[in-house]
Chain A
Amino acid sequence: MKRDPIYGVMAEFDSATALVEAAHKTHAAGYKKIDAYSPFPIEGLAEAIGFHHDEVPLVVLIGGLIGGTCGYLMQWWMSAVDYPLNIGGKPPHSWPAFIVITFEMTILFAGISAVLGMLALNGLPMPYHPVFNVPRFSSASKDRFFLIIFSSDKKYRLDETLKFLHTLEPRSVSEVPS
């Protein structure tokens, strides 16, 4: 398959409000493979570009369950099975004493899964990305807001899509080379 020399077309906006409006309009116009970039999290922006399924909580739940289970089983196996030691007549499987470490292991595994899960689902780390080719994009981490329509979108036609972006009244529109 021949790779499109254009990765997508990008419009730049002044404010968070303008970006969210533009994202709504773009999504309503039938463009599905789109993304928006902002210097801080904007409420409702992800929904505006049609992103609804966030799997991070599930990853954290699974991580926490694994951590808690392993934490308890580790203590039980080490203290009651592999190396039972009589200390002051306490039973080898003295479960109340195991709760603290079970709790800590739950938190540890859930926390690590939260961070690694977020990074993995976001496809990070990714030091290079085509959007960085747009010189103005460096303001996306400061005070500018960007909307991109990817060339892989079904409705994408370079000239038509550029024309559509101009109807959103952006500050500027640029082509993103891939």
Chain B
Amino acid sequence: MPEQYKTSTDLEGAPVIGPGHTFASVTDKISSIVLTRPASNGWLIGFALMFMLTMMMLFAIGYLFLKGIGIWGVTIPIGWGFAIVNFVWWIGIGHAGTLISAILLLLRQSWRNSINRFAEAMTLFAVAAAGIFPAIHVGRPWLAYWLFPYPNTMRVWPQFRSPLMWDVFAVSTYATISALFWFTGLIPDFATLRDRTDKRWLKMTYGMLSMGWRGSARHWHRYETMYLLLAGLATPLVLSVHTVVSFDFAIGIVPGWHTTIFPPYFVAGAIYSGFAMVLMLAIPIRKIYGLEDFITERHLQNSAKVMLATGLIVAYGYGIEAFMGWYGGDRYDAFTLWNRLHGPYSFWYWSLLTCNIFVPQVLWIRKLRTSPVALFCISGVILVGMWLERFIIVVVSLHRDFLTSSWGMYYPTRWDWMTYIGTIGMFLAAMFLFLRILPAISIFEMRTLLPEAEVKE
């Protein structure tokens, strides 16, 4: 038990792994979910439902390709609509995975070891869901590769002074690094699965994926150096990604977008919604697969504290936005504030404040921070709230800007909803598959948490 946990009371001092575990029991417990446990009916039904939602998304996108984005609710002046709202929401959710795997690794928070693997998986699937939206929003999605600088017969290059171009680089770098981080973290566990399974084809598959990992001391040394450096690279990267996403708005001159508070408040909001998603996934997973020894109440409590802290940063962001709208002296900014509070979308602005600021304050109560049911519900509220935040930022700012003659309203169509709900289905379907095919908890990092892992002099 590391020293720093011993001082404080309550769950602070609680172990991050249940008592009585050995290297063998940790290995068997986690790998048995993948290797021996039969697929339950619940899993099959859940996966089938989510797969159906994925098909619905593909249907909606297929029709979109046939007809064009006219089937969506986007019009002028609201040209961004659901596509960008969902894009920012999903990218933000992904950020908690990188925070858990990279930033908490650098800060030596060993409790992260049991949740980093599926949080990283969550990042990958969330980024995949996010990536769909800008690609299908460009109007002619089969030409979306024009975003990348490649030598072409038109002899033109992308416009690097545009924040939208920065976003292309930030998000594609983020997707690549997240995938690398996730895959390299899996290599030693693939070796464990290779050595545990009896089936020849599984041995071959996991053996290939493990790249012949044999746990040599030299290999571990280079591996740990690589892992630490990757964490050090991913940390500024994850902060940069949502900063750049916020630049998509903040660089523009639209009232309600053009503020310097956007980067920090977007990053905090991303982590806020991401931890909410981590909890919404972790709470059922630990219950269904009996992993309460590995994902303990302390993990729930810590995640709840991160949500509380980032939620307050977000609240500060809203406060500064409102204050600057009033104090800044710009009549358009002042109107945006008034329009949020009293305009046609005011119900949603107040819902946003309720979901993101008022309700999460119950997390100050210790009892709720350790209650899985309460945390599950609060996390759901926060996810809705963070979606509404992006809706308010995108739609309410665009629908009434400088000229009253160009005001308008935005009404999402059924195709908008089908695409959005479909990506949730795709995300969860991927999570269902992940749980059955790969070890959802990092086995080798869990071994290092056991007291026997320490070398005694």
Task: Using CB atoms and an 8 Å cutoff, list the residues of chain A in contact with chain B.
Answer: 15-17, 20, 23, 35-46, 48-49, 51, 54, 56-57, 60, 64, 74-75, 78-79, 82-83, 85, 87, 90, 94, 97-98, 100-101, 103-105, 107-108, 110-112, 114-115, 117-119, 121-122, 124-129, 131-132, 137-143
Residue of A nearest to B452 (CB): A15
Residue B325 CB within 8 A of the other chain:
no
| B161 engages A87 (CB within 8 Å) | yes
The dominant DSSP class at the B interface is: helix
Distance in angstroms from B244 CB to nearest chain A CB is 6
In whole angstroms, what is the CA distance A103 to B160 when docked?
13
Residue of B nearest to A56 (CB): B225
The dominant DSSP class at the A interface is: helix
Would you list which residues of chain B between 218 and 271 have a CB under 8 Å from chain A?
Answer: 218-226, 229-230, 233-234, 236-237, 240, 244, 247
| B214 engages A143 (CB within 8 Å) | no
| B234 engages A111 (CB within 8 Å) | yes
Could you pull out 22 A-B pairs where Cβ atoms are within 8 angstroms? A15-B452, A37-B214, A42-B217, A44-B455, A45-B217, A82-B157, A98-B160, A100-B170, A100-B244, A103-B236, A105-B173, A107-B234, A107-B237, A108-B177, A110-B229, A111-B177, A114-B180, A118-B223, A121-B222, A124-B213, A127-B211, A142-B27
Specify which of A15, A78, A97, A100 is in contact with B169 (CB 8 Å cutoff): A100
In whole angstroms, what is the CA distance A85 to B18 when docked?
62
Known: A16-B452, A40-B453. A51 touches B217 (CB 8 A): yes
Residue of B nearest to A97 (CB): B161
Distance in angstroms from B320 CB to nearest chain A CB is 23
**Interface contacts beyond A38-B217, A83-B156: sample of 17 additional A-B pairs, CB < 8 Å, sorted by A:** A40-B188, A40-B444, A41-B448, A43-B455, A54-B222, A60-B233, A78-B149, A100-B240, A100-B247, A101-B169, A103-B240, A104-B237, A115-B184, A115-B226, A118-B225, A122-B216, A127-B207
Specify which of B163, B173, B211, B216 is in contact with A107 (CB 8 Å cutoff): B173
Residue B192 CB within 8 A of the other chain:
yes
Residue B343 CB within 8 A of the other chain:
no
Known: A35-B216, A111-B180, A112-B176. A142 touches B230 (CB 8 A): no
In whole angstroms, what is the CA distance A9 to B244 when docked?
55
Known: A38-B217, A140-B214. A107 touches B452 (CB 8 A): no
Known: A111-B180, A115-B230, A141-B188. A131 touches B214 (CB 8 A): yes
| B22 engages A143 (CB within 8 Å) | yes
